[in-house]
Structure formats: structure tokens, C-alpha cells
Amino acid sequence: MLSQSQTLASANYLLSRSCFLCTRGTSLVILDVRSGKYSTLEARYSNQVCDLVPGWPVVKVAETSSSAQPLRPEEIAEDLASANILVQKESRGKHATPVRVLVPALPLIEEYEQLETSISMREAIEFVSATLWALMILSRPFGGLGLRHLEHRCATIQNVASNCSEDTLCILEVRNVLAKFLRLRPLIWKVKNQQRLERLILLKLFEYRKIYPQWILGVAIDPLRSYSWLQWKDFVVDEAPEIVATFTPIVAF
């Protein structure tokens, strides 16, 4: 049996390192974090390149799919390569297997669950510093928070996280961090479009406690739309599971 590195070396095409994909219904959805662009590919085209790209998923074919003669696999692959979705150099490519994330069934805190929390001076200071850090990350001089930056940032965190053991973490401690954040969140000055800001603050507050949730990007189609949420193990941190369940994870930072 070939190892993954051997497969990569012998492959015709590889998925670009900046791209992520998932199947959704009868389409394949591709996200390029470098440009922040989402694309969809119908099953009849997508399935043609399964043999050319290692890990490329098979998409369910629509019952009413067109009977028109599809393009040759090489033609489709060339089109995808010209869009920088596929690459031929091993150093710039990766296995195309879609991300696997635990399906979150429960919220970390029920939306109206009332947790008794008291906030210490240290925690208030941590909240302020996390907010300043998040505002700085999102500010113009730092170029805002593109998906690529987020990927890089989260990769750094995950490196640290891999050296920590989460087994010892009690869910109560994780819930406690979130409960305190929810109490303090109204104090954030910024009013509009603060989802990303809030999520960054929350990430930082978790980081202070050596807790490392994943930042998941999910997609849905008809119409194509994306959504993101924080997930810790199989708990949704900052959203309702019903909403999260309507999206298919495409990236887990």
C-alpha cells in the first residue's frame, strides 16, 4: 500500500495548499483562502478528476443531471489548474481529502442556560487585553484578518496545542470561560460586524486557559453561503447547533 507521500509524488495533480474542499449535495465546494473565494463544481465535472487527484472526493450525482457529453478529465483538470485550484508541483500541493470534523450536537452552553459566574479583576484585565489584541489584529495597519492570516494564526496555536493535553480539561472550565465572556461581551465598544472580533477575543481568552477550540468554516449551497463558528470537541462554542448543522465544514483551523 502506498503511503500518502508516495501518492503525492506520483500524482498528476494535487490540490493547491491554499484550497480546501467539501461535498455538499450534488456539488463540490472549493474555498481558496488566499483569495477568500468560494467556487462550486457540479458532480458531472468534479467526478471526472477523481482519478487524477489523490483524495478528491466523489460527489453524489443529481438524478436529473444533464446527459450532455462531459469534458475529458484532463481538460477539467487543466481548467482547475488555471484557476490555481490544482497544482502539479508536490511542494505546492496537498492531498484533497475533505476535512473531517466531529458533528457538533450540543452547544457548550444552552442559549438561555443561566450559569452563576463571578468575574475577578484578573479576568476583567484579561478580557480587556484580549479585546485590544483582537482590535489590533483587525485594524488596518495590520491588514485586517484575512482567511490566510487566520490559517497562519491558528496553525501557530495548534502547534502549541499539540503539546498540551486536553484530557485533563474539565468541560466546566471551558463553559466557565464562555460564561464570563458572555457577561462581559456587552462592554465591547464596537457595535456592528463584530462576529469576527468576538470570536478572536474568545479564542484569546481560551488561549489564556490553554484551551484550543477549532475555528470552523462551513458552507451551504442554493444559494452558496458560508458561516463560521468555534467548536471544542463536539460542542459548538458560540452558535446554536441547529444553525451550524445547516452547513458542511470545509475548513477547520
Partner 1 sequence: MTTYIAILWDASDSAQNAIAIDLKERTRRLRPAWCACFDNPGMFVSTEQHSGSHLDHVYRLAAGHGIILGTLFERAYVDNHAEIDESPKPVILGDSASARMVADGCTTLRDEYWGRYVAFLTAPARGRQWVFRDPTGQIPCQHGYVAGLSFYFSRLVDLEEIAPGPLRVNRHFLIGHLGPGSYSSGETAYEGITTVLPGERVEYVRGSRTTSFLWNAVQLANSNDSTTFSEARANTSRIVRRCVSAWASGVDRLSLQLSGGLDSSIVAACLATSPRKPSVLCFNFYRNEETADERVFAREVARRFQFELIECLEPPPPAIDLSTVRERTVVPTCTVPPSASWTKMHETLQSREITLHVRGDGGDELFYRDGAVPDAVDCAYYSGLNSRLWAIAMNDAMIERTSVWNILGLAIRLGLMRRRYDWRDSSWKSRLSLLCDDVRNEVLTDRTHWHPLYRGDVACAPGKLHQSHRLLYLTTRFHGFPLIPSDISIVSPLLSQPHMEFALRTPLSVLRDGARDRAAARAAFRESVPSRILNRKYKGLDAVPSGHWISGRAKEIRDVLLGGYLASERILDRHAIEAIFAKGHVLESETSHQLKAALDVEVWARNAIAHRSKSTEFAPHFTHIPMGPTLRSTVQTQ
- Binding region for partner 1 (CB under 8 A): 110-114, 182-183, 185-191, 194, 240, 242-243, 245-246
State the minimum distance, in angstroms, from the CB of residue 126 to partner 1.
19
Helices and strands: H and E segment counts in the chain? 8, 11
State the minimum distance, in angstroms, from the CB of residue 118 to partner 1.
15
* 3 vs 26: CA distance, rounded Å: 30
Q: Which is nearer to partner 1, 164 or 187 (CB)?
A: 187
For residue 244, what is its C-alpha cell?
Answer: 451550524
The single-letter DSSP state of residue 81 is: H
Q: Which is nearer to partner 1, 181 or 212 (CB)?
A: 181
Amino acid (one-letter) located at 190 = K
Q: Which is nearer to partner 1, 167 or 242 (CB)?
A: 242
For residue 220, what is its C-alpha cell?
Answer: 451551504
State the minimum distance, in angstroms, from the CB of residue 192 to partner 1.
9
Q: Which is nearer to partner 1, 58 or 243 (CB)?
A: 243
Q: Which is nearer to partner 1, 33 or 205 (CB)?
A: 205
Whether residue 8 contacts residue 233, with contact meaning beta carbons closer than 8 Å, is answered with: no
Alpha-carbon torsion angle 101, 160, 237, 153, nearest 10: -90
Amino acid (one-letter) located at 16 = S
The single-letter DSSP state of residue 53 is: S
Q: Which is nearer to partner 1, 111 or 167 (CB)?
A: 111
State the minimum distance, in angstroms, from the CB of residue 32 to partner 1.
26
Q: What is the DSSP string of 24-52?
A: ETTEEEEEETTTTEEEEEEHHHHGGGTTT
* 33 vs 38: CA distance, rounded Å: 9
